[in-house]
Amino acid sequence: MGRAETGSWVKSGPVEARLVASVQGVGDLAKIPLGLEVRLEPGWKTYWRTPGDAGFAPRLDWSESRNLKATELIYPAPHRFTVLGFETAGYDAEVLFPIAATPAEPGKPLD
């Protein structure tokens, strides 16, 4: 995805994340292509939608967003890991989760 706009990195513990967009304006788009870019410190992982024997899939809270009707988080193909004998599926180092955002009112900004 070519990045036209990027948000600031937000750090929480061993994870940094930011929102990226491949468009600069939404026009009349019914779905806005976004992405959640995640960077992890060495040794840390985030998990796939079906993580396996351990872990939890990422969940995003959009409750404070304005003009956002729905989102679809798309999970790239995961890597397989064995952690303490548990088989898991997920990502290490960095990953970009594509997001299809549906505005409540197309043509108006998403906040």
* Strand order across the beta sheet in which 86-92 lies: 45-52, 86-92, 79-83
> What are the tens digits of pLDDT across the range 84-110?
899 999 999 999 999 999 999 988 888
Instruction: Give residue 30's identity as a one-letter amino acid code.
Output: A
Q: How far apart are CA 60 and CA 98, in angstroms?
A: 13
Q: Tell me the pTM.
A: 0.86
> What are the tens digits of pLDDT across the range 24-83?
777 778 899 999 999 999 999 999 988 888 888 888 999 999 999 999 999 999 999 998
The residue among 39, 32, 42 whose CA lies nearest residue 10 is 39
Sequence-separated (6 or more) residues with CB below 8 Å from residue 33 = 1, 21, 22, 23, 98, 99, 100, 101
